[in-house]
Amino acid sequence: MDVAIVFLPLLGAIIAGFFGRMIGDRASMYVTCVLLTVSCALGWVVFFDVTAGGNVRTTQLSTWMDVTGFVVSWALMVDQLTAVMLIVVTTVSAVVHWYSIGYMSHDDGKPRFFAYLSLFTFFMLMLVTADNLVQMFFGWEGVGLASYLLIGFWYKKPSANAAAIKAFIVNRIGDFGFALGIFGVFLLFGTVELVDIFAGVAGKADARIVFLNGEYHALTVLCLLLFMGAMGKSAQLGLHTWLPDAMEGPTPVSALIHAATMVTAGVFMVCRLSPLFEYSETALMVVTFVGASTAFFAATIGLTQNDIKRVIAYSTCSQLGYMFFAAGVSAYGAAMFHLFTHAFFKALLFLGAGCVIHAMSDEQDMRKMGGIYKLIPITYAFMWIGSLSLSGIGIPGVFGFAGFYSKDIVIESSWAAHTPIGQYAFWLGIAAAFMTAFYSWRLILMTFHGKPCCDEKTLAHVHEAPPIMWVPLVVLAVGSVVAGAVAYNAFVGEGMAAFWGNSIFVLDKHSALADAHHAPLWVKLLPLVMGLAGIGLAYLMYVFQPGLPAKLARQIKPLYELSYNKWYFDELYDRIFVKPAFALGYGFWKSGDGAVIDGVGPDGIASATRQLARRAGWLQTGYVYHYAFAMLIGVVVLVSWYMYRQAGG
């Protein structure tokens, strides 16, 4: 069963990718969708088998490497942490596959697109089931490859190609740190097998590593290198710039890769390696700081973006920050809980945005929308559900949307850590909760309410998405409503010890998640109050006083431009890295390639040879009497030389 879950998507990718033209578009789409749906159904069976029955196991497939004692196997490890990721990955992927049948109906490259989707799913499943770091890295790089292919799927668009290259390069930076971390782990533990590493962590808690005549705490160095990989894959502050640009890919790609699955790989990796991180307070502080800073930073940018997909993309960055600072205060269960609920409501928002774009004749600018909620009521309802869950709206002690439970326990855990870095995360998380609610309802109000801002031709064609697009979203909508309430006790409540088993390790002194349940009432209510305040402010600015946003933007122009221009990170990187790289490349081209290589080669020896050959060619006239005359001259020269030699002799 475990093998089928992982390899059925690969089978679908092979069929659609290599035989798509032979079997046709329709068969390619339905084969991949059916195989993914079967994988999803089996994933849920495994989830209940593992979490309820405790049937943790590792399935050995084959030996991958065996070099002088260094043995790496292909194996599928299924424990509670893996089981959660299996249902997240396969459920969202199955929904996206079926949705894509409608969304990509007019595209000529359907077999290629569905092959890429299934290939991505396979690599993601390989990542989450890996029982060793090398296999995890294989899946890690595989999802990077698939994301590059999907972001640049419309390869005739220069912007799509640029976005794909940007994602590839930025992720290579993080992956370089991840690879170094794996090398360091093998150096310290002598193995890359996760079980063996975890068994030896306590004995290496005080180990030191020497580098460039400096001595450092080994586990801290390794954790920071590994976290560097997580920062790239999960678009954390500094390595986040690729994620918003990745919206150039088709909207189903945004939902699958950049909302629910690939970007959560970094969070999963930190939780999987919790035994390492638990023994490095410095690494945990860095994770908390980066996560909290990202949550706040990305939320500030989401306030002013006008592209409907970019608003949701920056929301993804922000929510990933929540997951990381939860892991940073050792509340790994809360991090995974928010990962779980986020998969439902964020995929719902992205696919709902796709329905809006479909209805608006591919328009993505919210300033050119408005007044369409009566024309697409089903999509409107889905966007409300997703936004309510993202904003964390609920009635304490009664009921709330999925994000209400998961986001609140993350924020409460940061407060319960009772550390300066925990307080830093708490207050930035509170501020981000306010901004999240504001930009979520800014999106709702600008897109669906007010007067239509599109032309009459576009408005006349506004229509609800076909059932093949909106029916699969019902699954995500149900998850966005009930997943938090249903899973709360198991993920972060009284049953969390039994639920997670040994898949997550937390030292006794790190009790933030347990203490979060005893947080004072004001801590529990503050996120909800801030969320409602954000929604209220959005209504004030975009319904009751629609002229207020422009007026406020003029009054705080520097802050507005800082947010609108994404804190100038792209411009900063362009100035620090891109332009110097171009200048260096141009210099090597002109002075190295042009002056030296071309000067010596094509413009030097080769040029001289060509000139000599051309001049020698002048002697080849084609006239017999010219050749006879030349032969006569030769004979005269030879006879003269002979007579000269004889006279000299």
pLDDT digits (tens, 9 = 90+) for 296-348: 999 999 999 999 999 999 999 999 999 999 999 999 999 999 999 999 999 99
Q: Report the distance separating Cα 96 and Cα 260, nearest Å.
A: 11
Cα distances (angstroms) measured from residue 221 to each of 52, 190, 323: 37, 16, 22
* Cβ atoms 299, 432 nearer than 8 A: yes
Buried b (16+ CB within 10 A) or exposed e, 415-452: bbbebebbebbbbbbbbbbbbbbbbbbbbbbbbbbbee
* Cβ atoms 453, 370 nearer than 8 A: yes
- Percent of the chain whose predicted confidence (pLDDT) is above 90: 74
Average pLDDT over residues 99-109: 90
User: What is the end-to-end Cα distance of the chain in Å, rounded?
Assistant: 101
CA-wise closest residue to 324 among 282, 292, 371, 364: 292
The predicted structure's pLDDT at residue 585:
86
CA-wise closest residue to 307 among 261, 263, 350: 350
The predicted structure's pLDDT at residue 203:
92
CA-wise closest residue to 98 among 34, 156, 55: 34
- From the centroid of its chain, how far is CA 305? 20
Query: Has residue 260 got a pLDDT over 70?
Result: no
The predicted structure's pLDDT at residue 207:
92
> Which tokens is 362 given?
């591919």
* Cβ atoms 222, 184 nearer than 8 A: yes
The predicted structure's pLDDT at residue 592:
74
For 486-539, how does the pLDDT look when each residue is reduced to its tens digit (9 = 90+)? Answer: 999 999 999 999 999 999 999 999 999 999 999 999 999 999 999 999 999 999
Q: Report the distance separating Cα 192 and Cα 198, nearest Å.
A: 10
The predicted structure's pLDDT at residue 40:
96
Number of Cβ atoms within 10 Å of the Cβ of 634: 10
Query: Has residue 649 got a pLDDT over 70?
Result: no
Average pLDDT over residues 275-302: 96
DSSP one-letter string for 212-274: TTEEEEHHHHHHHHHHHHHHHHTT-TTS-THHHHGGGS-HHHHHIIIIISGGGHHHHHHHHTH
For 211-228, how does the pLDDT look when each residue is reduced to its tens digit (9 = 90+)? Answer: 878 899 999 999 999 999
For 347-402, how does the pLDDT look when each residue is reduced to its tens digit (9 = 90+)? Answer: 999 999 999 999 998 889 999 999 899 999 999 999 999 999 999 999 888 889 99
Average pLDDT over residues 558-570: 94
Q: What is the DSSP letter of 601?
A: I
Number of Cβ atoms within 10 Å of the Cβ of 544: 8
Query: Has residue 194 got a pLDDT over 80?
Result: yes
The predicted structure's pLDDT at residue 420:
96
User: Strands 214-217, 394-395: parallel, antiparallel or unpaired by DSSP?
Assistant: unpaired
The predicted structure's pLDDT at residue 259:
65
The predicted structure's pLDDT at residue 645:
82
CA-wise closest residue to 167 among 244, 92, 253: 244
Q: Report the distance separating Cα 334 and Cα 395, nearest Å.
A: 20
Query: Among the listed ranges 429-443, 456-470, 533-547, which one has the minimum average pLDDT value?
Result: 456-470
Neighbouring residues of 307: CB distance < 8 A, sequence distance ≥ 6: 247, 364, 365, 366
- Percent of the chain whose predicted confidence (pLDDT) is above 70: 99
The predicted structure's pLDDT at residue 66:
85
Query: Has residue 618 got a pLDDT over 90?
Result: no
